[in-house]
Amino acid sequence: MPLDADRAWEMDAVLTGAELRALIDAVYPIEELPREPSATARVFRFSDGRGEIGFIDPVSDPFCSDCNRIRLTAEGKLRTCLFSLHETDLREPLRAGAGDDELERIVREAVWRKELKHHVGEAGFRQPARSMSAIGG
């Protein structure tokens, strides 16, 4: 994913989820299980019944249309998408004494502004300043 600290990620170097599944399936046949609503992973079981494997493919198989994830960074910033360029500050309102109602309003407003999609692989995509480890993923 384009959340690497050294910014070496390139779309041309992506091994898609479909390609990876085909490589595994050629040796260890797999079959897809039904996807849970808002799940990030597509889960497959091995045809021999000896386990399952999940794939999270936000670049090659985005699930943005039903994503309900938000994250809170260690610095108290709310992120509505891993690839978002925007964060909502919760630490300062908390330090200023904001009550539950005020915090709920801030979180709800942030969620209403949640991006419809992340635009990875599209012209003009900008990588977020934070790496995955700095986001908390």
3-state SS track over the chain: CCCCCCCCCCHHHCCCHHHHHHHHHHHCCEEECCCCCCCCCEEEEECCCCCEEEECCCCCCCCHHHCCCCEECCCCEEECCCCCCCCEECHHHHHCCCCHHHHHHHHHHHHHCCCCCCCCCCCCCCCCCCCHHHHCC
In this prediction, residue 40 carries a pLDDT of: 83
pLDDT digits (tens, 9 = 90+) for 82-127: 878 889 999 999 999 999 999 999 999 999 988 877 777 777 777 7
In this prediction, residue 9 carries a pLDDT of: 65
pLDDT digits (tens, 9 = 90+) for 16-71: 889 999 999 999 999 999 988 888 889 999 999 999 999 988 777 777 788 888 88
Cβ contact 36:49 at 8 Å? no
Whole-prediction pTM: 0.70
Cα–Cα dist 110/78, whole Å: 8
State which amino acid sits at residue 113: R
In this prediction, residue 5 carries a pLDDT of: 58
In this prediction, residue 53 carries a pLDDT of: 96
